[in-house]
Amino acid sequence: MTHAPSSGGASSLVLPIATAAFAIAIFIVDSITPVDFNLATLYVVVVLMASRFCPARGVLLVALGCACLTVLGFSLSAPGGSLLAGITNMVISLAAIGLSAFLVVRGLAADARLREQAKLLDLTHDTVFSRDMDDTITFWNRSADELYGWKREEALGEVACQLLKKSFPVSIDEIMAELLRTDRWEGEVVHRKRDGTRVVVASRWSLQRDTRGRPVGIVETNNDITARKQAQEALQQAQANLERLNRVMLLGEMAASIVHEVNQPITGSSANASAGLRWLAAQPPEIEEARQALERIVRDANRASEVIGRVRSLAKKLPPHKSALNINDAVREVIALTQSELRRTRVILRTGLASGLPLVAADRVQLQQVVLNLIVNAIEAMSEVDERPRELSVVSGRSEPNDVFVEVRDSGLGLDPASLDHLFDSFYTTKPGGTGMGLAISRSIVEAHGGQLSAVPNEPYGAVFRFTHRSRMGRRGTRCR
């Protein structure tokens, strides 16, 4: 590969002087040797040496000078030898000089184009670097200097994966397979700066091939999206806090029922403890009766503990965590928590939970919050209904091979058709004192799980709320090798 002309200075004169001296030496020796000696081909070396310090026009002038020296040397050559062989050698030398000059000029033009492209890449705000198929960095633009902290001369020749400590969303083998198949890859990658700071980039890779179609390198363009990702994480945290507040408010609305649900086993435990003491104080002691009383105490204590555990899990501030979940089990736990509220409001509960449903990838607490929202809303919708039974139906099933659904039906006042378009909007509510966030949060949770939440009027009375869920487990990111 040819190089750009060298800059001025004392050291830059050495190569031109050496080139001129070598050309003169060739001319002198060529002039005193017989015509059939082909020394003029050595002028090709002179042309190559000139390419190290001359622009394209200068190389052409040097080649023309070498051609003239070749002809002059032939005319001054010592007599002897074959004249035809001498003419043939001169023609070969002239052809070699012309061909070498052509190749050198073309190489210099290609280098000039590459330098211009490199200047353009230095002007872009995107970080751009290229690497060969061994992941060795071969180009590094100015924006890469600014983002990562390594200067170009420090980065060139380094292994990109080791220098930047890359972490990928999928395995590097999958990425390379897609790159070789489609010549491009895009995704979010985590890099490390020189000072160890973590930076998230939107990365785009383009595979470069030679004239034979063989992969020779990769051009990587990166945009720093760290601030955007941090804003997204802050938004997600705010949404999580809002979801938790909504859960706490729901539990607050059900506080009386929860207290009643806990108070029942506590009262039962107290009564059984008193009975047990009486059985033990009898003469003779009634050991079997006392044992049964203790068993009832244990059963009531477990029942109270389960209720408290459900309330705590819903009220806790926990990060979202998706795992394989039996959706029917999650629904049953919510129904158990609302039993006292259902009895207090004289609501008849009917369940139809289908068996054999596939496990879904979901956050248990978030999904239970959706179910709790829908059940509490259904109970409130039936609070003013007295002329017909208050019936609540909770069913589950499979809508498609990989989809499951949960449906909550009530016999309440129903939905206003004019409100259907705004039912899931934030702060939209038809309840006195309502926040208008319950259904909006529920929809965002369902959609974050890859499903849909919808509402339609029930026949002949009430409303039907239905959400679907498709199981999709995410893949873990990997570090580069």
Query: For 220-269, how does the pLDDT look when each residue is reduced to its tens digit (9 = 90+)?
Result: 889 899 888 888 877 777 666 666 666 666 666 566 656 656 766 787 78
Match 């529920």 to its residue by tokens: 442
Q: What 8-state DSSP symbol labels residue 136?
A: B
Give the residue among 479, 478, 446, 449 at the shortest CA–CA distance from 465. 446
Could you tell me which residue, 262 or 172, shows the higher pLDDT? 172
> Three-state SS string across 264-309, please?
HHHHHHHHHHHHHHHHHHCCCCCHHHHHHHHHHHHHHHHHHHHHHH
Please check the confidence at residue 185 and state whether its pLDDT lies above 90. Answer: yes
Could you tell me which residue, 424 or 76, shows the higher pLDDT? 76
Q: Quick one: what percent of the chain has pLDDT higher than 90? A: 12
Could you tell me which residue, 86 or 314, shows the higher pLDDT? 86
Give the bridge partners for 206, in sequence order: 184, 219
Out of 120-129, 324-333, 385-394, 449-458, which region has the weakest mean confidence (pLDDT)? 120-129
pLDDT score of 117: 58
CB 167 within 8 A of CB 476: no
Residue 239: exposed, middle, or buried by beta-carbon count in 10 A (0-12, 13-18, 19+)? middle
CB 382 within 8 A of CB 340: no
pLDDT score of 200: 93
* Average model confidence (pLDDT) across the chain: 79
Q: Which of 30-39, 187-196, 223-232 reaches the highest mean pLDDT?
A: 187-196
pLDDT score of 384: 83
**Dihedral pair phi/psi, residue 285, rounded to 5°:** -60, 140
